[in-house]
Structure 1
Amino acid sequence: MRTAIAFTGAMAVMVLIAGCVTTEGEYDGGSTGEEKLAGSLSELFEQALDDETNPFVIDVLDRAIETGKIAQEDYDEAHRLYRVCMSDAGYEESYEQLANGSYKIAPPALDGQEAVEEYMSVGSDCSDELAPVESLFILQQGNPDLLADPEQVVVQCLNEAGLVGADYTAEDFREDRDARFQQAPYDPMSAEAQECFSNAGFSISVGE
């Protein structure tokens, strides 16, 4: 059985090369307890706007601050710009829209580490609009309590979906993940579990 774990989105693409799993992302292991990322979504949008220079992203954030959320159509347009850029660069990715409205990216076949690194570099260059919009959009859609620990976001969602009991913890989730979910009290590939994973920014695939 093989378990592949990455983060959803353009800046965190999972690449399988010769049976190995390579992941790229900026997750630092998460926080503990009930730490919050901010007091509100609008506060996060305003913080992001302070450091933003991309005109498209600035317009999206201005609208989000006014309405209280990033609109699906704004996220979709950011993703379209990314797809066009990657296609123009010669990459044929495939995309699956998840229940939270975001897209899971499946990379093309890549031959060797050099090709992987080039692909990741191009993906980064093509994500100027998508990366900042997507990170906030996924947070908005799947983490309304703004929990700082993505693993706690998964646990809360699994509990609300009735897949685990109230005594299931983030440590339990880490242990199940490390054990490839062989003893997990739920099917990690079920639609409900997959939605919980994607809500926290994870892309988890379990197979033979």
Structure 2
Amino acid sequence: MRFNVWKRLELAAVTVGIAGVVLVGCAAPDEAGVSDARVAESFAAMYTQWLTEPDLTEMDRLVLDEAQRTGRVTQGQYQDAIDRLVSCMADAGYALQLTTYPSGVIEVQPPVAVPDGDDLMSSKHFCEKTTSIYAIMGYEMQQGNPELYADPAVVAFNCLEDADLLASTATVDDVKRFMYSSERDNFPFDSEDFGVKACFYGAGMAYGTVAEAE
């Protein structure tokens, strides 16, 4: 299995660090080691907090100003932000690959063959900082983590469970091992399944499958 660092485990973790967002809920794990801590009390509260960030682009500020009132980044705003990111990367010489999941979230991946990884990541960071990365993060959290859980493993587990993509014996720890360890076999879900990939992407993790690598 081939894993790609383009999309990091960040949708939950990054928002904890932005503008000092404070975890809410029970931060201590239960007997099964699962915490119900959230990154914010609500999306409106999170967007209000994001508006204090000094590096917002004008487009991000416009989107977040509306979102703090409505509690939502719209699909149209998200698509516009994705289009801007793709266009910026194209100007830098990188034609991104896009995969749209049923939730409306669009997985963005770099070209398969990249001669200079450092230049790719430098271009990625530049484009994120000059387009609408907050709009992208907000919408993807709405779709992939509607309960605003702070633990990406809990986010992925809930999605997989709701979609009936887990064996009955599966635990959050199984999901966590898949996300954070080098183990790739004997998991209670099919990592090649499109729906499984969608759940992990919603939790901030992207990976290539064996079939895609062949």
TM-score between the two structures when normalised by the length of structure 1? 0.80
Indicate the SS of the match to 1:50.
coil
Residue 5 of structure 1 deviates from its aligned partner by 4.8
Higher relative strand content = 1
Do the aligned residues in 2 keep the contact of 1:100 with 1:198 (CA within 8 Å)?
A: no
Q: Equivalences for 1:124-135 in 2 at 5 Å?
A: 124-128=125-129, 129-135=131-137
Residue 24 of structure 1 deviates from its aligned partner by 8.7
Residue 174 of structure 1 corresponds to 176
Residue 145 of structure 1 corresponds to 147
Structure-2 separation of matches of 1:164 and 1:103: 23
Indicate the SS of the match to 1:174.
helix
| Paired residue type of 1:92 | A
Structure-1 separation of matches of 2:4 and 2:121: 17
Change (3 A) 1:190 1:160: same
- Give the percent of matched residue pairs that are identical in Structure 1 and Structure 2: 27
Kindly provide the CA deviation profile for residues 39-86 of structure 1, in whole angstroms up to 9, marking residues without a partner as x.
101000000012153211011011212222000110111111111111
| Paired residue type of 1:59 | L
Structure-1 separation of matches of 2:66 and 2:85: 20
Indicate the SS of the match to 1:36.
coil
Q: Equivalences for 1:38-53 in 2 at 5 Å?
A: 38-52=40-54, 53=56
In structure 1, runs of 5+ residues without a counterpart are 7-12, 15-22
Structure-1 separation of matches of 2:106 and 2:2: 20
Structure-1 separation of matches of 2:122 and 2:57: 19
| Paired residue type of 1:186 | F
Structure-1 separation of matches of 2:195 and 2:59: 33
Indicate the SS of the match to 1:197.
helix
Residue 89 of structure 1 deviates from its aligned partner by 1.7
Do the aligned residues in 1 keep the contact of 2:167 with 2:189 (CA within 8 Å)?
A: no
Q: Identify which range, 46-55 or 162-171, moves more after superposition.
A: 162-171
In structure 2, runs of 5+ residues without a counterpart are 17-26, 30-34
Instruction: Report the count of equivalent residues.
Output: 188
Residue 165 of structure 1 deviates from its aligned partner by 5.2
Residue 4 of structure 1 corresponds to 3
| Paired residue type of 2:80 | E
Do the aligned residues in 2 keep the contact of 1:97 with 1:103 (CA within 8 Å)?
A: yes
Is residue 100 of structure 1 aligned with residue 99 of structure 2?
no
Indicate the SS of the match to 2:51.
helix
